[in-house]
Amino acid sequence: MRGYDSRKGHGWLVFRSTRGDQKIKSPASLNMRASAQKGALDRLSAATKKAVQGLQAACPDEAPVTPVGRLQAMEKWLSAMLEAANQMQPALDDFYASLTTEQKARFNTLQQVAGQ
């Protein structure tokens, strides 16, 4: 990873990751059945990949040296974060809308399970 690590005081955000190109996989607990759900999941995967690429592109290779440079880099990062969220939201909404009530209940618990 490249970027800011506040413990080291380098002045930028940590984001660069080799995990950014991982494909979103259909969680077995959601029991994806319909091809419409598969298509929605594929669109969400593509939107996620595009968002990650945008965030990685917004992260400088070298930490800015000056306070003004760090502020400009942070502004670029925040703009990229907003753009990434806006890119992913429609795909996430479509995927979520394709789920059954039971699948939505399971999907809503995935974050809790992943955080444990």
Q: Which domain holds residue 58?
A: 1-17+38-99
pLDDT confidence bin for 13, thresholds 50/70/90: very low
**What confidence tens digit (pLDDT) does each residue in 40-59 have?**
999 999 999 999 999 999 98
Give a yes or no: residue 62 inside a domain: yes
Instruction: Say if residues 35 and 57 touch (Cβ distance below 8 Å).
Output: no
Give a yes or no: residue 69 inside a domain: yes
Read off the pTM. 0.64
**What confidence tens digit (pLDDT) does each residue in 20-42 have?**
444 444 454 455 566 778 899 99
pLDDT at 115 over 80: no
Instruction: Say if residues 84 and 51 touch (Cβ distance below 8 Å).
Output: yes
| CA 24/CA 43 separation, integer angstroms | 10
CA distances 53 to 57, 73, 85, 87, Å, are: 6, 16, 13, 12
Instruction: Say if residues 34 and 98 touch (Cβ distance below 8 Å).
Output: yes
Give a yes or no: residue 27 inside a domain: no
In the chain, how many domains are there?
1
